[in-house]
Structure 1
Amino acid sequence: MPVPDPLVVHLLTAFAVVVVLLTRRALGRRSRRGSRSAPRHGHGVSPWLLDVHTGAGLAGGLLWVVFLLVDQDGATWHSLLGVVGLGLWWITAWAGLLLLGRWLPSRGRHSDVRDRGWFTGLGLALLGHLGVAAAAVVFTLGYLFGSV
């Protein structure tokens, strides 16, 4: 199994944090409005799931960046920092995959006619959330093989 390059791990870390922030920005607007109207496409987004995604992503990103930047001295706290950061990244990845469920078709009337950007939105959502899940795998491999 190939060992992940540290540069790839650092780039994926930045990518994953950006995905978390953009997801919050895109979906947080809709939940802040307090509107109970039907979503523009598919299902609505649970505010709880969005909060888990954002909270775990930001906390995991912070812990993971500290883990990557602090000199590895073999201390127990450093290893624990990496494990907790990885756990939070996995929670973020699963929450992101669950957020993709909003693109599933729903019963009843569809607003696809009014929603011209659904394909671009779906494509970006898939790229971002599948990318975060792949990043969690790469982070885990990098941690286990000691490349980071």
Structure 2
Amino acid sequence: MEWANVTWFLTALGAVVVLLTHVRLGGDKAETRRASGVASFSGALVRIHTTVGFVTLVAWVVALVTGRREVALGALVGWWVLSVVGLLLLARWLPSASKHAKDKATDAWGSGAGLSLLGHVGMVVGVVYFTYVAFTDRL
């Protein structure tokens, strides 16, 4: 197995998750951001996800190209923050037991949480792999 190929592939998938999360949830209107799932979420989470994602991707690519371990370790912090924020965004699909809770809205790109679940749980698996790569000097 070629570690570099897997690492670059997962880096590209991480970029797709950040981009799709921004496109799906980063609408200009508050109603757009709160349309899917059963719980509402802060628009700040989407902004944090997008900003941290962009900075992390740039730092990670620099680390991969230059082979600098300290840059990779800094980018790993960003990957972990990105994963936690992504899982918080994913939590909007948890059922709400409130008597004033709204019904589930359908997702424009699917019929529920499938794409978000795949992307954000996959992101956590990818970050575990990135951590392994960085700590075993396989950059």
TM category, shorter = 0.7 to 0.9
C-alpha distance 37-66 of structure 1, shift in aligned 2 (>3 A): closer
What is the match of residue 65 of structure 1?
61
Which is worse superposed, 95-104 or 119-128? Answer: 119-128
Q: Note the C-alpha offset of 1:34.
A: 3.4
What is the match of residue 133 of structure 2?
142
With normalisation by structure 2, the TM-score equals 0.86
Q: Does 1:79 align with 2:77?
A: no
Greater Rg over alpha carbons, structure: 1
From 91, 113, 118, the equivalent of 1:101 is 91
Identity of paired residues, percent? 34
Q: Does 1:51 align with 2:41?
A: no
Q: Note the C-alpha offset of 1:50.
A: 1.3
Gaps of 5+ in 1: 73-77
With normalisation by structure 1, the TM-score equals 0.81
- For residue 143 of structure 1, give the secondary structure of its aligned residue in structure 2: helix
Q: Note the C-alpha offset of 1:117.
A: 6.0
Is the 1:27–1:45 Cα contact (8 Å) retained in structure 2?
Answer: no
Gaps of 5+ in 2: none
- Once superposed, what is the RMSD of the aligned Cα atoms? 2.5
What is the match of residue 121 of structure 2?
130
Distance 2:138 2:40 in 1: 40
Is the 1:63–1:85 Cα contact (8 Å) retained in structure 2?
Answer: yes
Q: Note the C-alpha offset of 1:61.
A: 0.5
C-alpha distance 42-62 of structure 1, shift in aligned 2 (>3 A): same
